[in-house]
Amino acid sequence: MAEDAQWRALRSLGCRPSGQSAALQRDILGDTRPLPPAHSDPREDEKLFDDTDPYVDPPISVDHGLNFKVGKKTFLNYNLHVLDTCLVTIGERVLTGPNLCIYGATHPLDPAVRRGIEGPEAGKEVHIEDDVWIGGSVIILAGVTIGRGSTVGAGSVVTRVCHAIFWPLCL
Protein backbone atom coordinates (compact mmCIF):
# COMPACT_ATOMS: atom_id res chain seq x y z
CA MET A 1 0.00 0.00 0.00
CA ALA A 2 1.91 2.99 -1.31
CA GLU A 3 -0.59 5.43 0.22
CA ASP A 4 0.02 4.06 3.72
CA ALA A 5 3.79 4.31 3.28
CA GLN A 6 3.38 7.87 2.02
CA TRP A 7 1.11 8.71 4.95
CA ARG A 8 3.60 7.26 7.44
CA ALA A 9 6.41 9.32 5.89
CA LEU A 10 4.32 12.49 6.04
CA ARG A 11 3.21 11.71 9.61
CA SER A 12 6.84 11.36 10.69
CA LEU A 13 7.29 14.95 9.53
CA GLY A 14 4.22 16.08 11.48
CA CYS A 15 1.80 16.15 8.52
CA ARG A 16 -1.67 14.64 8.63
CA PRO A 17 -3.28 14.08 5.21
CA SER A 18 -7.05 14.33 5.64
CA GLY A 19 -9.12 11.21 5.29
CA GLN A 20 -6.31 8.71 5.93
CA SER A 21 -5.86 8.94 9.69
CA ALA A 22 -8.74 6.63 10.66
CA ALA A 23 -7.82 3.99 8.09
CA LEU A 24 -4.17 3.94 9.18
CA GLN A 25 -5.06 3.75 12.87
CA ARG A 26 -7.39 0.83 12.14
CA ASP A 27 -4.62 -0.87 10.14
CA ILE A 28 -2.15 -0.49 13.01
CA LEU A 29 -4.68 -1.82 15.54
CA GLY A 30 -5.77 -4.68 13.29
CA ASP A 31 -9.40 -3.53 13.32
CA THR A 32 -11.17 -5.28 10.42
CA ARG A 33 -14.65 -3.83 10.89
CA PRO A 34 -15.74 -1.94 7.76
CA LEU A 35 -15.44 1.84 7.68
CA PRO A 36 -18.27 3.97 6.35
CA PRO A 37 -17.79 4.73 2.65
CA ALA A 38 -15.34 7.53 1.89
CA HIS A 39 -16.35 10.49 -0.22
CA SER A 40 -14.96 10.26 -3.73
CA ASP A 41 -14.40 14.02 -3.71
CA PRO A 42 -12.17 15.39 -0.88
CA ARG A 43 -14.16 18.64 -0.99
CA GLU A 44 -17.08 16.71 0.51
CA ASP A 45 -14.94 15.97 3.58
CA GLU A 46 -13.97 19.64 3.81
CA LYS A 47 -17.66 20.58 3.98
CA LEU A 48 -18.01 18.39 7.06
CA PHE A 49 -14.92 19.78 8.76
CA ASP A 50 -14.66 23.37 7.62
CA ASP A 51 -11.43 23.98 9.57
CA THR A 52 -13.33 25.47 12.49
CA ASP A 53 -13.49 22.43 14.74
CA PRO A 54 -10.79 21.92 17.35
CA TYR A 55 -8.05 19.47 16.37
CA VAL A 56 -7.40 16.81 19.00
CA ASP A 57 -4.29 14.61 18.92
CA PRO A 58 -5.23 11.63 21.12
CA PRO A 59 -5.04 10.36 23.74
CA ILE A 60 -6.78 12.83 26.01
CA SER A 61 -8.55 12.31 29.33
CA VAL A 62 -11.45 14.45 30.57
CA ASP A 63 -12.87 13.70 34.03
CA HIS A 64 -16.56 14.57 33.53
CA GLY A 65 -16.77 16.06 30.04
CA LEU A 66 -19.91 18.10 30.72
CA ASN A 67 -17.92 21.06 32.04
CA PHE A 68 -15.28 21.15 29.27
CA LYS A 69 -15.66 23.63 26.39
CA VAL A 70 -13.19 24.14 23.51
CA GLY A 71 -13.21 26.94 20.92
CA LYS A 72 -12.76 26.87 17.16
CA LYS A 73 -9.41 26.24 15.46
CA THR A 74 -7.81 25.10 18.72
CA PHE A 75 -5.11 22.40 18.78
CA LEU A 76 -5.14 20.01 21.76
CA ASN A 77 -1.94 17.97 21.79
CA TYR A 78 -1.62 14.40 23.07
CA ASN A 79 -1.75 13.39 26.76
CA LEU A 80 -4.10 16.22 27.72
CA HIS A 81 -5.67 15.64 31.16
CA VAL A 82 -8.61 17.76 32.31
CA LEU A 83 -10.30 17.57 35.72
CA ASP A 84 -13.49 19.48 35.00
CA THR A 85 -15.27 19.44 38.36
CA CYS A 86 -16.12 23.05 37.50
CA LEU A 87 -16.21 24.73 34.09
CA VAL A 88 -12.96 24.51 32.08
CA THR A 89 -12.93 26.60 28.90
CA ILE A 90 -10.30 26.79 26.19
CA GLY A 91 -10.79 29.64 23.72
CA GLU A 92 -10.32 29.89 19.98
CA ARG A 93 -6.99 29.45 18.17
CA VAL A 94 -5.26 28.07 21.27
CA LEU A 95 -2.18 25.86 20.79
CA THR A 96 -1.20 23.35 23.46
CA GLY A 97 1.93 21.27 23.87
CA PRO A 98 1.86 17.62 24.91
CA ASN A 99 1.24 16.53 28.50
CA LEU A 100 -0.91 19.51 29.49
CA CYS A 101 -2.77 19.04 32.80
CA ILE A 102 -5.68 21.30 33.71
CA TYR A 103 -6.85 20.75 37.28
CA GLY A 104 -10.21 22.34 38.02
CA ALA A 105 -10.70 20.07 41.04
CA THR A 106 -9.65 20.93 44.59
CA HIS A 107 -9.88 19.34 48.03
CA PRO A 108 -9.93 20.82 51.55
CA LEU A 109 -6.52 21.57 53.05
CA ASP A 110 -7.60 20.48 56.53
CA PRO A 111 -7.02 16.69 56.75
CA ALA A 112 -9.90 16.30 59.22
CA VAL A 113 -12.27 17.67 56.57
CA ARG A 114 -10.50 16.12 53.57
CA ARG A 115 -10.84 12.51 54.90
CA GLY A 116 -9.44 10.79 51.78
CA ILE A 117 -12.05 9.46 49.39
CA GLU A 118 -14.83 10.08 51.95
CA GLY A 119 -14.27 13.84 51.96
CA PRO A 120 -15.71 16.48 49.68
CA GLU A 121 -14.39 17.39 46.25
CA ALA A 122 -14.65 21.01 45.25
CA GLY A 123 -13.37 22.98 42.32
CA LYS A 124 -12.78 26.33 40.70
CA GLU A 125 -13.27 27.33 37.09
CA VAL A 126 -10.31 27.46 34.69
CA HIS A 127 -10.40 29.75 31.65
CA ILE A 128 -7.89 29.85 28.82
CA GLU A 129 -8.78 32.77 26.57
CA ASP A 130 -8.29 33.11 22.79
CA ASP A 131 -4.91 32.99 20.99
CA VAL A 132 -2.97 31.46 23.89
CA TRP A 133 0.08 29.25 23.35
CA ILE A 134 0.78 26.69 26.10
CA GLY A 135 4.07 24.76 25.99
CA GLY A 136 4.57 21.10 26.80
CA SER A 137 4.24 19.56 30.28
CA VAL A 138 2.37 22.54 31.75
CA ILE A 139 0.14 22.24 34.83
CA ILE A 140 -2.73 24.72 35.25
CA LEU A 141 -4.36 24.79 38.68
CA ALA A 142 -7.95 25.50 39.70
CA GLY A 143 -9.15 29.10 39.65
CA VAL A 144 -6.71 30.25 36.96
CA THR A 145 -7.52 32.45 33.96
CA ILE A 146 -4.90 32.75 31.23
CA GLY A 147 -5.52 35.98 29.33
CA ARG A 148 -5.87 36.46 25.58
CA GLY A 149 -2.64 36.15 23.62
CA SER A 150 -0.54 34.86 26.53
CA THR A 151 2.32 32.39 26.18
CA VAL A 152 2.92 29.78 28.88
CA GLY A 153 6.44 28.33 28.84
CA ALA A 154 7.04 24.57 28.78
CA GLY A 155 7.17 22.97 32.22
CA SER A 156 5.34 25.84 33.95
CA VAL A 157 2.97 25.42 36.87
CA VAL A 158 0.33 28.15 36.56
CA THR A 159 -1.04 29.02 40.00
CA ARG A 160 -2.50 32.49 39.45
CA VAL A 161 -4.27 34.64 36.89
CA CYS A 162 -2.18 35.61 33.86
CA HIS A 163 -3.43 38.81 32.29
CA ALA A 164 -3.94 39.26 28.56
CA ILE A 165 -0.79 39.27 26.46
CA PHE A 166 1.56 38.75 29.39
CA TRP A 167 4.63 38.23 27.27
CA PRO A 168 7.01 36.47 26.92
CA LEU A 169 6.05 33.93 29.59
CA CYS A 170 3.18 33.36 31.96
CA LEU A 171 4.72 31.55 34.94
pLDDT digits 0-9 by tens, 129-170: 999 999 999 999 999 999 999 999 999 999 998 887 654 455
**Is the peptide bond between 168 and the residue preceding it cis, with omega within 30 degrees of 0?**
yes
pLDDT at 18: 47
Instruction: Write out the DSSP string of 21-53.
Output: HHHHHHHHHT--SPPPPPPSSHHHHHHHS-S-S
Could you give the CA distance from residue 100 to residue 94 in angstroms, rounded to a whole number?
Answer: 13
> Mean pLDDT across the chain, nearest whole number?
81
Given a contact cutoff of 8 angstroms between Cβ atoms, the answer to whether 74 and 94 are in contact is: yes
Q: Compute the average pLDDT of residues 59-75.
A: 93
Residue 51, φ and ψ in degrees, nearest 5: 60, 25
Positions marked active-site: 107
**110 burial class (0-12, 13-18, 19+ CB within 10 angstroms)?**
exposed
SS3 111: helix
pTM for the structure as a whole: 0.68
Sequence length of the chain is: 171
Domains belonging to the chain, first-starting first, are 1-50 (no CATH), 53-171 (2.160.10.10)
